[in-house]
Amino acid sequence: MKLIGSYTSPFVRKISVIMLEKGITFEFINESPWTEESHVPHYNPLGKIPALVIGPEEVWYDSHIIAAYLEQLDIAPALMPHDRLAALKVQQLEALADGIGDAAVILLREQMRPPELQMESQLLRQREKILRGLDALEKEAAKGVTLNSETINLADIAAACLIGFLNFRRVMPNWCVERPALVKLAEKMFQRESFARTVPPTA
């Protein structure tokens, strides 16, 4: 298996963490989707990372689908409950964490434009999505049932990758204020070897 992407992406990190947790061997192909000469569109017509290459005719994207693909391989530990409704709840929280990541990426891209071209309404809209999303995650983490429970699952991994990304890109540096359950979750997840091995590169 080849994982196409970059560890600066929270979505790519999520997939790497899942494979490390499950002990799945993979080759990491470092590719940026943002350059003119990027090979990413060769794997994913949408030009986005991650893509998981199984063979010449079998490539999986996006990260949500890759996570589901890896889960159906039935390799322990299971990162989703067997009960279908409970599994859907985990996937919804994964989608929530990923959606916050999407908003953070849009926000960062907008902030990279010359100040006179930046749309204040767009910046505000994305910030609001991030804040509302983090509040919803905090609520779930505080319950400790689907998120932040005794056993780690896909939602915990997605939420921790998102928080790692917010820290790394300094989006919403105050995210941790009044979100103690998310802080606890992040501290717990960042101690795992799978997270230590996928820290975003600083250079």
Ligand X SMILES: N[C@@H](CCC(=O)N[C@@H](CS)C(=O)NCC(=O)O)C(=O)O
Binds ligand X (CB under 6 A): choice among 3, 11, 126, 140: 11
Count of beta carbons in the 10 Å neighbourhood of residue 191? 9
Count of beta carbons in the 10 Å neighbourhood of residue 78? 14
SS3 76: coil
Segment lying near ligand X (by CB under 6 A), choices 22-30, 61-69, 121-129, 142-150:
61-69
Write the interaction track for ligand X spanning residues 19-58; mark x where CB under 6 A is met and - where it is not: --------------x-------------xxxx--------
* Min dist. Cβ of residue 157 to ligand X (A): 13
Asked if residue 110 binds ligand X (CB under 6 A), the reply is no
Closest CA to 50 of 2, 104, 4: 4
The C-alpha angle 142, 183, 152, rounded to 5 degrees, equals 65
* Min dist. Cβ of residue 101 to ligand X (A): 7
Binds ligand X (CB under 6 A): choice among 105, 134, 137, 182: 105
Whole-angstrom Cα distance, residue 146 to residue 139?
11
Asked if residue 98 binds ligand X (CB under 6 A), the reply is yes
Asked if residue 158 binds ligand X (CB under 6 A), the reply is no
End-to-end Cα separation, the chain, in angstroms: 27
